[in-house]
Structure formats: C-alpha cells, structure tokens
Amino acid sequence: MITLQHEQLVFRFPHVDDDAGIRIDFQRTLRLPDDGHDYHLPPGLGRFPLRHIEDFDLGSSNRRKARGGVIMPMFQTDALWLNFSSLGYGRPALPVALKIGAGKINAVSGEKWADGLSQDPQNYVVLPEQPWLDGFNVEKGKVRQFVAMPLGKGYTVEEQIDPESDVGGIQIEAIPMKKEVYEELKAKREEVSSIRFGVNMMMACEAPASMEMGLGMGGSMRQEIYDDEYGLDAWDLANSQRCFIMLANAEQWMSITGEEPPLSPISAEAYSKAGLPWFDYYDGDRQAIEGAKALGNIKSVKAIAEAKREDAWPEEKSKLDYLVKKIKGMKVSDGSW
C-alpha cells in the first residue's frame, strides 16, 4: 500500500512485518555548475510538495490521470534529489530494492524501463544501504544531477534515447525483501543511518513554456551507488509497489491545484559564499557499481543549450570554493547481552 503523508510517499509491506516499509521524499537543492568538475553533495532545501493526481482536473492532460500517482511542481533547471528512509523503530529496517525511472529510462542502468530486477547491469538501489540518489549513474562513484526540463525540446534523457517519447515525470517501484529472508536477517542486521543537512533559502525563477516536465542531466557530483549484497533471489517481486510522479511547471501547478509552487533555491555560488556546507558521504564497507554504459552518450542540458544557442541554462561561476562537511554511515553494534 502506498500513501501520501507529510509530502512523502510511504510504501508499506505489512505482509512482511508490522509497519515495515520505506519513505521517499523529493528534496529541493542547489543546481550544480556544469563545468567539468565533480562536486560534493549539495544540501537539502526542503521537500517538493506532492498531491494526489486523482483529486484534480488536468484539463488537456486528463489522460495522464490513468497513470495514477502524484503530481509535483518544478521550475525549468530546478534540481532535486531523492531521500530514502525506513519505517519502524526498535527493529531492523526492511531491505527494499528500489527502481527509479526518469521518463521510463532507468536512472541506474540507463536502459528503458522493464519489469523485474537485473544485476547485469544492476537496475536498482538497495535501501536502507542507499541513503539517497541525486542523479543519473554515469560512472562508478559519479552521477549527473537530476534537473527539470520541459518535454518536447530534446533536453531530457528520455528524448535523447527516444526522440518520440513524451512520458516525462519520475517512476518509482519498490520491491521488498522476501519475508523468509528478512526473518533470517533480523537477528544479525546492522543498520546504517545518516543525516543530510537542510536549509530553507529561495529565489525566483522563470517558468518554462512547455507544461509537462522530464529530467535532464545537470552537473556532476561524487556519489556511489552500492552493489546489491543480497542477490536477486532475496527480493519479493510478487509484492512490488509502484508510483508515477508527474512533473508540472509552475503555471500548470497553479492552474491545477490553486497553490503557489515553492520558488527555486538560491544559486550554488551564493550558498557557498555564505559559508554553508556541502557534504562528503563515505561508507568504505560497501562496493559501488559501475556507471551505466547506456548513459555514456547522453548530453547534459547545458551542452544541448549551447549547441542550439538557446538560453536554457543559467550563467554560472565555474569551480566553486566551498566548505565540505564529512558524514559517514555510522554502525550500531548489537553487543553481547
């Protein structure tokens, strides 16, 4: 069962254990400069609002309601990252295999969305070991940031792979660990937890002309996507749950919901000049997977804008100087009782 609570998608798997499941929220963040440098993790600047899509009249896009799910507002070149957390207290977190798509292009493998799980290449992340995901898996230890762009202009990853595609949005599928495997894990599980710093600072940004949005590639950052240590046989595909997140621009969001969308964050340069921290997350006990070969020829939004001589990517300072705060997944020992 999927519910919407406090701007978070909540996936519950009561057939495995009481209150077993995960939360996912979509964090507003700084847009990284696309300047050839690999940046550290930018901060969380608050959650994007989410609304049940069935509650609203979508006008000319009403056919999209058949996909179900939720709707979320983004301005052109807004950046986001996906934040993951587990439900339940006082017990080991239920491991979940999570597939993430952008216009039905898998963000981890770079391949078109397909049923099931794959390890060659791996097409999912494993929770709670993976605390977040900021972008497309382009190289081992590196992702290109998720940034919103209007459909129909060739900027999104899905349109570069399939020029006729107009899916847009974000797709999520959560596959829980099999009950019997989880029961075996309970007694020996060591949990990993971490915190991402958040602030709330905003500025205005012009909305794009196109109504629906997809995700293109932004700047590059250091981030590992961890290898699945459990194996494909551990996952319960028969009890998977999925959700479609439709991305709307500011005009569409206000027309549909009657609400003001959150304004775009301050620039990365202004944030850095204020002495606020970026983050370096390290978990040396885990192995990172390789980058997706299928994403090797995908161009960033900035590169496409320059080739088209369009003003679609804001001017930015190259190679920012900033404060880095190191964070690490801290393990808790079960001890000897």
* pLDDT tens profile 89-107: 767 899 999 999 999 999 9
Q: Please give the pLDDT value at position 173.
A: 98
Quick count: other Cβ atoms within 10 Å of Cβ 32?
26
Q: Please give the pLDDT value at position 206.
A: 44
Query: How far is 140 from 127, CA to CA, in rounded Å?
Result: 19
Q: Mean pLDDT over residues 234-261, rounded?
A: 94
Min mean pLDDT across 7-16, 72-81, 210-219 is at: 210-219
Is it the case that residue 288 has pLDDT exceeding 50?
A: yes
Judge contact between 270 and 40, C-beta under 8 A. Answer: no
Judge contact between 265 and 28, C-beta under 8 A. Answer: yes
Q: Please give the pLDDT value at position 71.
A: 95
Sorted by sequence, the CB contacts under 8 Å of residue 278 that are 6+ apart come out as 39, 40, 41, 42, 43, 272, 322, 323, 324, 325
Is it the case that residue 335 has pLDDT exceeding 50?
A: no
Closest C-alpha to 143, from 24, 250, 300: 300
List the domain boundaries for the chain: 2-329
Q: Mean pLDDT over residues 265-292, rounded?
A: 82
The fraction of the chain above a pLDDT of 70, given in percent, is 89
Q: Please give the pLDDT value at position 208.
A: 43
Is it the case that residue 198 has pLDDT exceeding 60?
A: no
Residue 211, Cα to own-chain centre: how many angstroms? Answer: 21
Helices (H), 196-261: 250-257
Query: How far is 322 from 298, CA to CA, in rounded Å?
Result: 28
Q: Please give the pLDDT value at position 93.
A: 92
Q: Mean pLDDT over residues 149-175, rounded?
A: 96
Q: Please give the pLDDT value at position 329.
A: 61
